[in-house]
Structure 1
Amino acid sequence: MTSSPLVIIGAGQSGLAAAKAAELAGLRALVLESGDRPAGSWPSYYDSLTLFSPARYSSFPGTPFPGDPDRYPTRDEVVAYLESYAATLDTEIRLGTRVTAVEQAAQGFIVRTESGDTIHAAAVIAATGSFGRPYVPAIHGRERFGGEVRHVAEYRDPKPYAGKRVVVVGAGNSAVQIAYELAELAHVTLAVRRPVQFVPQLRGGRDTHYWLHTLRLDLLPPSVLSRLIKGTQVLDTGSYRAALDSGDISQRPMFTAYDEAGVSWEGGEREPVDAVLFATGYRPHLPYLEPLGALDPNGLPLHQRGISLTHRGLAYLGVEFQRSFSSNTLRGIHRDAHYVVKRLTPCVSDLMGGAN
């Protein structure tokens, strides 16, 4: 058995931010990543994904995105950025190392990996995000439907859907972006619980993220944010709204059931459909914490602002709206990382005898 003052599970944006925060706090950390690249889930997103925030607002402190700061980086640019950032860290990152369980020890935790390794840790940060647990709501008749049903976690590009009738479920940025590119090759309907709410990408000649930063709205706690913003909002330069207004993409209230050939809409209308793509979000993916008893019955972390409510020395990163509007974003994850590392430091000091 090996030991480490701090084990960070996951080497995506959250895990790398945690590693940097640990370095700045003088803590020796070990990062465990199941994939073969220190980029988390980014390599697995759909091919055309671009950030909704400009490069200048999509980077870690002290490490700006290369190139034009006003462009919107692509998926592959984000992957390259994270890999480059990981190379600057003075922290061990073990790739191809999947954590299967975190267990309570007499002091601290035992972290077990798929390869059979065991690591004793004074503290643990769970930073594996949610991509591994896409959410697809249960809808009546799924077993009878003869078409394709997927979450957008499995979507890569529109070519396989050329000429097909596709329903995209969701009203957020990803749902609208995917529906927009599909509409060039397929007949697309956007199925929504509430109509899409568009927000101008530019206000007063500046990107919306300039105002979020300048007015410090990025720092608002979720309780305040929910009173200011109702529902999901989609950033738009005008192209997405025009596609809906023109009918290139139709928008309808969520269908009520599947049938053999398609879906049934409110009011009983049936429509033949070849494929349904769910852009309905993700849930925290933390199966390795189930033996610890740190999760609620739905598998969600029991925490306050990222600090476990069940186990001293356990913290989380990458939970949506964990502490603010910008939690779980490239531009904001560092703030959460410094917060949780600061609160874990006494746990490490206690168990390591003051030596990190």
Structure 2
Amino acid sequence: MTVVAPFESAKPAPESQPERVGVLLVNLGTPDTSDAKGVRAYLKEFLSDPRVIEDQGLWWKLILNGVILRIRPGRKARDYQKIWNTEKNESPLKTITRAQAEKLAAAISDHDHVVVDWAMRYGNPSIKSRIEALAAQGCDRLLVVPLYPQYSAATSATVCDEVFRVLAGMRAQPILRVTPPYYEDPDYIEALAVSINAHLSTLPFQPELIVASYHGMPQEYVDKGDPYYAQCVATTDALRKCMDLDATKLILTFQSRFGFDQWLQPYTDKTIEKSAKDGVRRIAVVTPGFSADCLETLEEIAQENAEIFKHNGGEQFAFIPCLNDSEPGMDVIRQLVLRELQGWI
């Protein structure tokens, strides 16, 4: 006769430990080459995403293929060539994102079953290729880290869209987590303040005005419910408080508008132009919506907007680099990742 122990006395089985955990850092993307051909391929992928351009109808396809992809690649290629990492033959965004992944891997190396990798939403290395590589290394759990402090459907959500598409084609899917936006995380705000103050201390002048410039988006997207604008405001407010600056000394603007629709305002270039005309002679610009320097910071801000400022009467212009793979920047990423890995490591 077999005696069965009462149900109440049964002990729960210990939770199985993951075989390996993959951590995938993801940034926006970059052309593979700095010539018109490379930029055209990148722009086609980017501008064909309905998260970026929501109306993908016939009219947009005609404009994209008949006008934009014929004219814009040559112009943007010249801009990329101004900032291109010629030693590695790649964009600074790719160089920096790789460095962020390598430094994160070193910072959490005591967790030997964690594998860190990196990808681009558009261009290479693709999200698909890196998820497949992590799966091949035995990662049965995956933490995706969109490197955007502020959430928007055109950035964070489209990363998730692509991850879901990749997983939809996998028979053995990893368990998935995605890090949240960190737009007012105290560690992030403190890192921004430390970085800004450190850079300002190296300047031969004291700026009269600090401009916090964020990537723009069509006003319509926010009207439909995208939280991006509110999160940019929250970042700027928290940074002002941390640096003890009021709204007249640290202002919020939006850059990189595209097309003819109304985008989030005030516009960075118009604000910088007006400031110079109004008598501001010393200015510094920081870009708290970017985790790594790229075309929009190194060329659009540091070169194009600097020229706008000086052309209209400004004298001294400083671009404050992104957090990149600096020690404060890596502390933000490391703490974000370790927080979201709780229960897996």
TM-score by length of 1: 0.29
Query: Per residue, is there more strand in 1 or in 2?
Result: 1
Query: Per residue, is there more helix in 1 or in 2?
Result: 2
TM-score by length of 2: 0.29
